[in-house]
Structure 1
Amino acid sequence: MADTARSLDPGGVRSVKSADRTITLLEYLSAAETPRSLRNVTTDLGIPRASAYALLTTLVRTGWVSTDGSGSGFQLGIRALRAGASYVEHDDVVRRAQPVMNNLSEQLGETIHLARLDGHEIVYLATCVSRHSLAVVSRPGRRLPCWATGLGKAILSQRPWEEVDALLPQTLTARTENTITSRERLRESLVEIAQRGCSIDEQESTLGLRCFAVPLRFGGAVNEALSCSVPIVRLDEARERNILALLLQARERIVG
């Protein structure tokens, strides 16, 4: 068949080219900060113009992609939002963590996050927003590099370095002047986090913000972490100790 790739994957199942292209296109649009044109799609993804146009037209018609005001820019449509919301709604870890996160948010009044490792990025699954006017919010679905976040480092600290090293990109891009971009320094940091039992993001992802995170182990590899993000202007030693104590208590309630 024309849409079936000639090569086989390790499981012996043929890859369907049209499905691969659809997934690649949706992931491309989900990562784009602005609507992308047909030329952007064909150039960035290497899809022939006629094929890209036909695919985009189909996805627009079915609601998975929408067009901007000019009609020439493409972005994710409402069907993608519904699929993402359904994923979170039915996720077992989110279901277990959400009531505990709500309680933790009430106790601390700060932003609480639940995130999962996906490749070399962490994906936010759920958020309880701070009641303060000065707050930082990462919406569910947002992705950040794992090495630049407290959540990511909490998860990585529970894995062998060889595994961590393999999933990281060749270059560790900095988000702020405080981001660790040296593999040697990151390895040392992960050892310290594993010994301490919690991770602290010292303005490594966002200036002015300190994030405290703990890994969540449900058996097997650790894939999720829970965090509390606080502007440093609202922190002192006593409050930090209280945040860490409550995070550790919340972890025990979630993982059982």
Structure 2
Amino acid sequence: MSATEAGGSQVKSAVRTVELLEFFAHRPGMHTLAAVQEAVGYPKSSLYMLLRTLVELGWVETDSTGTRYGIGVRALLVGTSYIDGDEVVAAAGPALDRLSEDTTETIHLARLDGTDVVYLATRQSQHYLRPFARVGRRLPAHSTSLGKALLATYTDDEVRALLPERLARHTERTVTDRERLIEELHLVREQGYAVDREENTLGLRCFGIAIPYRTPARDALSCSVPAARLTPAHEQRIKHALFDARDRLTHATRTL
């Protein structure tokens, strides 16, 4: 929703501030005033004053020329406080550690936010693997095992209401048809886990499982492994470890 579409109960300046911070959060790097204005559509004079205020408060930073703008350190502090104060993240620590030890692969805990999953915690692979997802990063739910595991806890009609008919393609293997994805979610419900078959990153396969401490689920665990190293036996170990981690984390979150 743009600031001009905000309802009467919303304060326009607050809506614009949030929209501006979200603009920077989704577009790393520094941006000119003209580029920001073109993206958000605010009057240039009021946008400039808002940016200067956010710079003074530390939410936005400028370069040495004072003409380019990017996200500030205050945003990092707030994001970190969200992770530090989240009860699920705290409860998940032992289960993530055990899953990492059992699989020796990269482990993620993520939360569904709209049509994306947001990464909340990570354990890096014991093998050499270039990091591809960090805490706070957003990825589309339809192309990740985490997202598909979570979408499978919704009804078909709820998934239709959430996702567009045509889904964004990230690799040649991405499922881009919503109805085909829904068919896959039927299988996810049957087997209890989801698979990303190089749909988000070529050469990388992922297995995801939802944590059912609430319905529909909002958090999931995943294990990522290079396709070249994934043998049938290793795949079975990963699936077994994921189910074990799900049970451990379900028990740990039973009072949340």
1:241 aligns with 2:236: yes
Of 118, 125, 137, which residue of structure 2 is paired with 1:123? 118
Is 1:21–2:16 an aligned residue pair? yes
Distance 1:113 1:27, change over 3 A: same
1:83 and 2:39 correspond = no
- In structure 2, what is the equivalent of residue 209 of structure 1? 204
1:156 paired with 2:151, answer yes
Higher relative contact order (CA 8 A, sep 6+): 2
CA distance in 1 between counterparts of 2:189 and 2:247 reads 17
Output the CA distance in 2 between the equivalents of 1:55 and 1:110. 44
Question: What TM-score do you get using the length of structure 2 for normalisation?
Answer: 0.93
SS across alignment from 1:27: helix
Provide the secondary structure at the position in 2 that maps to 1:172: coil
Determine what percentage of the aligned residue pairs are the same residue: 46
Task: Out of 95-104 and 201-210, give the one that drifted further.
Answer: 95-104
Identify if the C-alpha distance between structure 1 residues 7 and 219 changes in structure 2 by more than 3 Å, giving closer, same or farther: closer
Describe the superposition over 1:202-244 as per-residue Cα deviations: whole angstroms up to 9, x where unpaired: 0000000000000111123211110000001111001100000
**Paired residues for 1:38-187 under 5 Å:** 38-187=33-182
Residues 103-124 of structure 1: CA deviation (Å, up to 9, x unaligned): 2112222110011111111111
State whether residues 135 and 231 of structure 1, in contact with CA within 8 Å, keep that contact through their aligned partners in structure 2. no
Structure 1 residue 72 displacement after superposition: 2.0
Instruction: Return closer, same or farther for 1:147/1:4 CA change in 2, 3 Å cut-off.
Output: closer
Q: Aligned pair in 2 of structure 1 residues 117, 68: CA closer, same or farther (>3 Å)?
A: same
Number of residue pairs matched by the alignment:
249
**Unmatched tracts of structure 2, length 5 or more:** 252-256
CA apart distance, 1:161? 1.0
Shift of 1:33: 3.2
Whether the aligned pair in 1 keeps the contact of 2:105 and 2:225 (CA below 8 Å) is yes
Q: 1:62, 1:123 → 2: CA distance?
A: 26
> What's the TM-score once normalised by structure 1's chain length?
0.93
